[in-house]
């Protein structure tokens, strides 16, 4: 048992902190300070900066461009990243399609796509959900028909984050409608510039455009954009779910938010009942400790080669609920200062003025990536052995 970082880890932490101090410029950290989502340019600037440093594809094996860090080092990096107010990196390339490619892809596919992901130049989006396949992914209908040297794709995806930024989409499509639900699904890579693709924005209640609908009409996709074999889509999708989830609970960002909340309370006028506010924050901090130490345990277990199973789903459930709780506290402790729609500076603490944007945005975090109810169903199966 040892709850402290080793001397080497502390040195590593310091070196990361120094680097962040030197490289995270005001425009990169600005968004998180304002509760904004970064624009494409800022996000890409930040990711390419990390890519240049070799710090983007953190979990990847060294041979494909990973930095060769332990899970603890990755955790430390994430902590420092959040504390300095830099945004999380987009998961679609680095955490999702990348591992799929180096695990299931052909040599040609690896050579073609991995370098762009490692450097942060190639942006991806994820084509999973469809209008009638949300939690129930296996019922998806987007069709990819094999025709000579290509697939002909027709159908619709929805809730596609950053589709309007992306160069490429990785996508679940139905290649065989005759077999049972899960079996006819394949994993396909689609160039977003291919004719026949239409991306329509969805504006969400935080006032942002990050989601999209994507329509495919006779979109031609080369056969060698298929990953693995036809019908392997479901296997690949499940593999992704078991991939490292040590940052899934958003603990580093919750810690950052609580720090901001404390700042906002400290700078608020004294008409305000601060002792009530500090107690509410104390309750949040106590809950954060439980999350953090559970997260530490998953990290330590990963470094010992024994990654957590159901525990990490538990962490996702708790972590997302906690993010919502912190953001709700921020809105409520802000009182009238929080009554803004447009995330604009009105009066009093900036942090409170901009609190509702994150609160609204985070309503989705217990829904996407498998709603918490679905996560609980899956956990129950594992626990009850049904």
Partner 1 sequence: MEFTLPENTTLIADTARRYLKNNYSFDAYRQQLEQADHLQSPRWSLMQELGWFGLPFAESSGGYGGDLLDVAMIVRELGAALCLDPYVDVVVAPGKLLEFIGSDAASTMLTQLINGQARLACALYDFQAGYQVLTPSLNFNGVRLSGQKHFVPDGGHADILLVTALNGSELVLCAVPLKLCETQRYRALDGSRMVNVLFEDVVITDEMIIARGEVVEEALGRLLAYLRALDCARMYGAASALYQRTLEYAKIRKQFGVTIGSFQVIQHYLVDMFIDLQQLESMLLMVAIKAESTDDFQRQRASLAAKAYYADKAVRIAQQAIQIHGGIGVTEELDVGHYFRLITHGSLTHGDRAHLVKGFAELRN
Residues 229-288 that bind partner 1 (CB under 8 A): 269, 271-273, 275-283, 285-287
* Choices 117-125, 144-152, 219-227, 326-334; region in contact with partner 1 by CB under 8 A: 326-334
Query: By C-beta, is 21 or 131 nearer to partner 1?
Result: 131
Binding partner 1 (rule: CB under 8 A), the pick from 159, 193, 237, 246 is: 159
Query: By C-beta, is 225 or 356 nearer to partner 1?
Result: 356
Q: Among 237, 241, 242, 245, which residue's Cα sits nearest to residue 315? A: 245
Closest distance between partner 1 and the C-beta of residue 184, in Å?
A: 16
Size of the site for partner 1 (CB under 8 A): 86
Query: By C-beta, is 39 or 259 nearer to partner 1?
Result: 259
Query: By C-beta, is 111 or 342 nearer to partner 1?
Result: 342
CA distances from 320 to 254, 326, 327 (A): 9, 10, 11
Query: By C-beta, is 102 or 359 nearer to partner 1?
Result: 359
Rg of the chain's alpha carbons, rounded to an integer? 22
Scan for tokens 């010992």, then name that residue: 304
Q: Which residues neighbour 259 within 8 Å (Cβ) at sequence distance 6 or greater?
A: 83
Q: Which residues neighbour 220 within 8 Å (Cβ) at sequence distance 6 or greater?
A: 150, 151, 152, 153, 194, 195, 196
Q: Distance between CA 353 and CA 332 in Å, rounded? A: 11
Under rule CB under 8 A, residue 177 binds partner 1: no
Interacting positions 54-83 with partner 1 (CB under 8 A): 72
Q: Which residues neighbour 112 within 8 Å (Cβ) at sequence distance 6 or greater?
A: none
Q: Distance between CA 92 and CA 98 in Å, rounded? A: 8
Binding partner 1 (rule: CB under 8 A), the pick from 246, 294, 302, 320 is: 294
Closest distance between partner 1 and the C-beta of residue 335, in Å?
A: 5
Residues 130-151: b if buried by 16+ CB within 10 A, e if exposed: beebbeebeebebbbeeeeebb
Q: Which residues neighbour 155 within 8 Å (Cβ) at sequence distance 6 or greater?
A: 130, 141, 142, 143, 173, 216
Q: Is 45 left (phi over 0), alpha (psi -120 to 50) or beta?
A: alpha
| Among 9, 145, 244, 287, the one annotated catalytic | 244
Closest distance between partner 1 and the C-beta of residue 92, in Å?
A: 17
Interacting positions 192-221 with partner 1 (CB under 8 A): 202-206, 211
Under rule CB under 8 A, residue 299 binds partner 1: yes
Binding partner 1 (rule: CB under 8 A), the pick from 221, 291, 326, 351 is: 291
Interacting positions 84-143 with partner 1 (CB under 8 A): 129, 132, 134-136, 139
108 is catalytic: no
Catalytic residue annotation: 244
């Amino acid at each position: 048992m040892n709850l402290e970082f080793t001397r080497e880890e502390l040195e590593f932490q310091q070196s990361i902190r120094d680097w962040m101090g030197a490289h995270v410029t005001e425009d990169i950290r600005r968004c998180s300070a304002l509760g904004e989502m970064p624009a494409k340019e800022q996000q890409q600037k930040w990711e390419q900066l990390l890519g240049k440093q070799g710090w983007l594809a953190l979990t990847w094996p060294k041979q494909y461009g990973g930095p060769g860090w332990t899970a603890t080092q990755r955790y430390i990096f994430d902590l420092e990243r959040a504390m300095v107010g830099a945004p999380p990196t987009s998961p679609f390339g680095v955490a999702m399609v990348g591992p799929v490619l180096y695990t299931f892809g052909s040599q040609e596919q690896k050579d073609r796509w991995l370098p762009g992901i490692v450097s942060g130049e190639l942006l991806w989006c994820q084509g999973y959900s469809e209008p009638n396949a949300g939690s129930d992914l296996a019922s998806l209908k987007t069709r990819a028909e094999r025709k000579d040297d290509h697939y002909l794709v027709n159908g619709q995806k929805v809730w596609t984050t950053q589709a309007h930024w992306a160069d490429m989409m990785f996508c679940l499509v139905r290649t065989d409608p005759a077999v049972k639900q899960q079996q006819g699904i394949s994993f396909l890579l689609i160039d977003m510039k291919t004719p026949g693709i239409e991306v329509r924005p969805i504006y969400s209640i935080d006032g942002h455009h990050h989601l999209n609908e994507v329509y495919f009409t006779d979109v031609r996709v080369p056969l060698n954009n298929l990953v693995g074999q036809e019908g392997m889509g479901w296997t690949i999708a499940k593999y992704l779910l078991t991939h490292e989830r040590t940052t899934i609970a958003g603990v580093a960002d919750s810690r950052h938010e609580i720090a901001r909340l404390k700042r906002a309370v400290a700078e608020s006028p004294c008409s305000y009942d601060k002792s009530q506010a500090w107690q509410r924050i104390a309750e949040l901090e106590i809950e954060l400790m439980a999350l953090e130490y559970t997260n530490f345990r998953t990290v330590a277990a990963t470094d010992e080669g024994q990654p957590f199973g159901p525990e990490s789903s538990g962490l996702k459930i708790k972590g997302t609920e906690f993010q919502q709780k912190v953001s709700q506290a921020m809105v409520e402790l802000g009182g009238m200062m929080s009554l803004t729609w447009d995330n604009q500076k009105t009066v009093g603490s900036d942090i409170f003025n901009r609190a509702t944007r994150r609160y609204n945005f985070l309503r989705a975090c217990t829904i996407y990536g498998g709603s918490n109810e679905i996560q609980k169903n899956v956990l129950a199966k594992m626990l009850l052995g049904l």
